[in-house]
Amino acid sequence: MTVHNLYIFDRNGTCLHYSEWNRKKQAGISKEEEYKLMYGMLFSIRSFVSKMSPLDMKDGFLAFQTSRYKLHYYETPTGVKIVMNTDLGVPNCRDVLHQIYSTLYVEYIVKNPLCPLGETLQSELFSSRLESFIRALPFFSARAG
């Protein structure tokens, strides 16, 4: 089991943070393009899911999986979106993503007056805390290679 990468978007689609751990394949486009494609996909999935749902939704879209990876999604009421790609063995990650938001993003970004909201995050403290948080996850184990 492993974590491949993590994206944080704000409500306008700006990629606030990106980090990767065990990523085997790049999308073949520039990072900026990739963020836009990812945000666009999530935006469409959200609208797709809300139209397709047979009942009223509370949390909405949670995750999708392909044959090789699983994408976990968490959105706050303010529109901050946290996306984590893991391998298929990882169970529901909603709590983990919520924790990233409440114990890292809120604590080190929202409460930091020097971090402007709505721009790429420059905070080293946040990056290093996030890094150690992800590495400490029970399903994070770096595979050889």
Question: Which residues form the interface with another protein (CB under 8 A)?
Answer: 4-5, 20, 22-25, 27-28, 34, 37-38, 40-41, 44-45, 48-49, 51-69, 71, 85, 87
Locate tokens 């063995």: which residue? Answer: 89
- What's the min distance (Å) between Cβ of 26 and another protein? 9
Q: Which two tokens stand for residue 52?
A: 């397709």
Output 72 or 108, the one with its CB closest to another protein: 72
Output 57 or 142, the one with its CB closest to another protein: 57
- What's the min distance (Å) between Cβ of 70 and another protein? 9
Output 1 or 45, the one with its CB closest to another protein: 45
Output 23 or 129, the one with its CB closest to another protein: 23
Which residues, including other chains, have CB under 8 Å from residue 117's CB and lie 6 or more apart?
10, 109, 110
- For residue 72, give the nearest of 106, 107, 42, 33 by alpha carbon: 42
- What's the min distance (Å) between Cβ of 69 and another protein? 5
Q: Which two tokens stand for residue 72?
A: 């976990």
Strands of the sheet containing 15-20, edge to edge, are 15-20, 3-9, 81-86, 70-75
Angle, alpha carbons 143-82-104 (nearest 5°): 85
- What's the min distance (Å) between Cβ of 112 and another protein? 29
